[in-house]
Amino acid sequence: MARIGLVAHDDKKDDLCRWAEAHRDKLSQHELWGTGTTGSRVTAETGLHVHLLKSGPLGGDQQLGAMICEGRLDVLIFFIDPLSAQPHDVDVKALTRLATLYDVPLANNKSTADAVLAAV
């Protein structure tokens, strides 16, 4: 069982929920962790259980980063919005930096998420 982080910026939350619904059976075999709003929406729209962290701008991205550097997260699915500025951009950068540093598979879009999930 893999420990999978689920995060999406606001304009990408619909995409992530659709992706999670499409992969519901597979995702249900894993331990899911999500930032507050993303995780709540995934649960509401798919029925999947997601352990909820703080909302991203309130520290949720940093909580996922801490999980990564402590070896408590195996995969990060993070649908980033490349067309909008984020008030917590420094947190977003810190999270993607730690995923890179610790060699955690990081999917920033649906195609990559499909490939990563197929491999776990």
Ligand X SMILES: O=C(CO)COP(=O)(O)O
**Which of 14-22, 24-32, 57-65, 105-113 is the region at the interface with ligand X (rule: CB under 6 A)?**
57-65
Q: Of 110, 51, 58, whose CA–CA distance to 80 is shortest?
A: 110
- Smallest distance, Å, CB 56 to ligand X? 2
Residue with tokens 């995409």: 15
Closest separation between CB of residue 49 and ligand X, Å?
A: 16
Q: Which of 19, 20, 60, 67 binds ligand X (CB under 6 A)?
A: 60
Integer CA distances (angstroms), 113 to 42, 58, 82, 108, in order: 15, 25, 16, 7
**Catalytic annotation present for 61:** yes
Q: Among 36, 52, 65, 117, which residue sits at the site for ligand X (rule: CB under 6 A)?
A: 36
The answer to whether the beta carbons of residues 74 and 103 sit under 8 Å apart is no
CB of 93 to ligand X, least distance (A): 10
Dihedral over Cα of 1, 80, 65, 63: its sign: negative
Which one, 13 or 23, has the nearer CB to ligand X? 13
- The answer to whether the beta carbons of residues 3 and 31 sit under 8 Å apart is yes
Q: Which of 88, 106, 93 is nearest to 36 (CA)?
A: 88
Q: Please identify which of the residues 10, 11, 25, 61 carries the catalytic annotation.
A: 61
Query: Which of residues 7 and 113 has its CB atom nearest to ligand X in the complex?
Result: 7
Residues that bind ligand X (CB under 6 A): 7, 9, 35-38, 55-57, 60-61, 92
